[in-house]
Amino acid sequence: MDELMESLRERFTQMQNRMIAAMNQLDNEDLNWRPGKESNSIANLVIHISGNVHQRIESGIEGKIDTRDREAEFDQDVYYEKEELIDIISKSFSKIIKVISNLSTEDLLKMQTIRSQKVTNFEVLMRCATHFSEHLGQILYIAKMRTKDTYVSTSIPRKND
């Protein structure tokens, strides 16, 4: 079980590092830019991830009161400075990594209800990993759109011929 949890912690750490590396290549305008009217900005995605960590981890696993306003996360008027967004991502991922580090096997098997469905805390963590990976892809894609040829890969760079 320890190896599995270490793997999860590493996965969340990698996501955090790649998000921050992409955001560091952008300015405030880029971070708040939307590809289209129905699309989200990187700022929206960061706030959404933070809301998800609050609801699923702090409230669902730790038992804190759920104060999430999910609809506000997608507000078209959301605007954040780069430093604020990096701080939000850092705190969100630090929270999830800390919680993972402190969970016992019994805690992992405890149930919580998400959208009328009973799931284990382990399943919640797996869903978060999948969900955040999807948003990491969106963040990377927006960063590439905004920086064009100056984008520096956050993963394994392509070989140049």
Which residue segments constitute the domains of the chain, with CATH numbers given?
2-150 (1.20.120.450)
Mean pLDDT, range 78-101, rounded to an integer: 97
State residue 156's pLDDT score: 81
- Whole-angstrom Cα distance, residue 70 to residue 48? 7
State residue 2's pLDDT score: 87
State residue 99's pLDDT score: 97
Alpha helices of 24-120 — where are they, by DSSP H?
A: 28-32, 42-52, 82-102, 105-109
Residue 158 pLDDT grade (very low, low, confident, very high; cuts 50, 70, 90): confident
State residue 161's pLDDT score: 54
Comparing C-alpha atoms, which of 3, 1, 2, 9 is closest to residue 125?
9
